[in-house]
Amino acid sequence: MASLDDLKKRIASVKSTQKITKAMKMVAAAKLRRAQESAEKGRPYSEKMNNIILNLSNGISDKENAPKLLSGTSQEKTHLCVVMTSDRGLCGGFNSNIIKKAKSYFAKILDEGKEIKIITVGSKGNDQLKRIYGDKIIENISFKESKNANYFDADKVGKMVIQKFEAGEFDVCTIFYNQFKNVITQIPQVQQIIPLNNEGEESSSEESYEFEPDEEEILSNLLPKNISTQIFKAMLENSASEQGSRMSAMDNATRNAGEMVDKLTIEYNRSRQAAITKELIEIISGAESL
Amino acid sequence: MSEEFKIEIVNPEKSFLVKDDVLEVVVPAFEGEMGILKDHISIISFLKPGIIKISSKSGDENYYVEDGIVEFKNNNLSILTSSIFNLLDLDKSKKDDLLKLAEEEASNSEINDQSKYLIDQKIEVIRSLN
């Protein structure tokens, strides 16, 4: 059994850990509110963008000559996967969930005899993936410097993806991110962004539009923007999810630390009493023997 | 009959401006400036760098945009843009920053004719603001 002094030290250390996790939880809660807000504020843009593209692609008469970003390269040999994770740890299963999803997707693609290329956004994803898929990672981007998800960063990733697409480096592009449902639930998502997969979605209006310049030109201008927008949406969802996940993880950690402190305190008190009893017995039996 | 319609400007981060007492909007569409009044035909177009002029009952406003998409439908004008500034907020140093950025872009030789045209346009507009 640990000595009284050891127990005292352990209680103190658990208590200070608890203080840290509690503070982290508070910070995450504050950040979560902001992240959630900006995720909600960002929604109209991507929704409107989606709507316009839907209207446009329905209006296109000549499907054969549609931009490649929309219709694909007519083959599916090389897949580019953009795995979006956080730059910081201590956020529960947040990163592992994305990685797990991504790994099972990679295995499926490789089984089909196709090639994959990986871009990791966020250093945690890179850390976990480079052990197995190190040779497949072509780029690693991290936005440690920027405080919040901003469109400028997303645009950088988007431009890079498009540049690679135009150079013919891949045929299909998918992004992996966590969708924020609520504080305790984040759903890992796999979303294909090239070619744009919006079959089955019905256009909201039957109305015909006037286009200036013509549909094809607008589309070819709009589609690259849409890529950045989708990536930005994923980044916003991701940052809200990260904070939510961290908050619940830290909440759990704080509670566990509390339980541990209670348990250790009981043990400490018991052994203190035992020591006192032992001493008393010694004194009494010493006195009796006289 | 009222002559007002609704305008909504959104950028990726938030809804930038919502107004429902707009009388006329002039946008720098790709093929030239375009004035939009109530009951305009449904249209989709995209923007080149320039000034959006909004005249509404509550006063006139001017915004500088670098790119974007306009959609007009059922007397709702939506403008999606990733870079928009109110001219009133755009002071000298901010303009200089934008100009410097644009000039840097223009000095890049690996751009195609269309983006070259857009950047030249951008520089021209910013210069004219000064």
Class of A23-202+209-249 per CATH?
alpha beta
% residues pLDDT > 90 (chain B):
10
Whole-model pTM: value is: 0.84
Sequence spans of domains, chain B: 5-86, 91-129
Residue contact B43–A56, C-beta within 8 A: no
Output the pLDDT for position A60: 67
Instruction: Name the token pair of A100.
Output: 């797990």
Chain A residues with at least one Cβ partner in B under 8 Å? 38, 41-42, 44-46, 48-49, 52, 55-56, 150-151, 154-155, 205, 207-213, 218, 221-222, 225, 228-229, 232
Residue B100 CA, chain-centre distance (Å), reads: 20
Rounded distance between C-alpha atoms, residue A240 and residue B87, angstroms: 33
pLDDT digits (tens, 9 = 90+) for A52-68: 887 777 766 666 667 77
Rounded distance between C-alpha atoms, residue B51 and residue B63, angstroms: 5
Sequence spans of domains, chain A: 23-202+209-249
CA distance A52 to chain B (A): 8
Interface test with A, best of B6, B8, B9, B69 (most A CBs within 10 A): B69
Write down the mean pLDDT value for chain B: 84
Q: Are B21 and B77 in contact (CB under 8 A)?
A: no
b/e code A187-219 from CB counts within 10 Å (16+ = b):
ebbebebbbbeeeeeeeeeeeebebbeebbbbb
Chain B residues in contact with A151 by the CB 8 A cut-off are 11-13, 82
Rounded distance between C-alpha atoms, residue A90 and residue A246, angstroms: 6
From the list A166, A121, A59, A285, the residue with the least C-alpha distance to B43 is: A59
What pairing do the DSSP bridges indicate for beta strands B68-73 and B76-80?
Answer: antiparallel
Residue contact B30–A213, C-beta within 8 A: yes
Q: Higher model confidence: residue B74 or residue B117?
A: B74
Helix (H) or strand (E) holding A102: helix A94-111
How high is the ipTM of this complex?
0.77
Q: Higher model confidence: residue B74 or residue A63?
A: B74
Output the pLDDT for position B102: 80
Output the pLDDT for position A269: 95
Q: The tokens 């043990």 sit on which residue?
A: A267
Output the pLDDT for position A65: 66
Chain B residues in contact with A46 by the CB 8 A cut-off are 12
Residue range B25-49: average pLDDT?
Answer: 88
Residue contact B14–A208, C-beta within 8 A: no
- Looking at domain B5-86, its CATH superfamily turns out to be F0F1 ATP synthase delta/epsilon subunit, N-terminal (2.60.15.10)
Positive or negative, the CA dihedral A24, A28, A31, A35 is positive
Give helix B92-107 / helix B113-129 axis angle, nearest 10°. Answer: 160
Chain B residues with at least one Cβ partner in A under 8 Å? 8, 10-15, 29-31, 34, 41-46, 67, 69, 71, 73, 78, 80, 82
Output the pLDDT for position A202: 55
Output the pLDDT for position A61: 61
Residue contact A48–B31, C-beta within 8 A: no
Task: State which residues of chain A have pLDDT below 70.
Answer: 1, 59-65, 197-207
From the list A149, A155, A151, A93, the residue with the least C-alpha distance to A124 is: A93
Name the residue among A52, A221, A228 with its Cβ closest to that of B71: A52
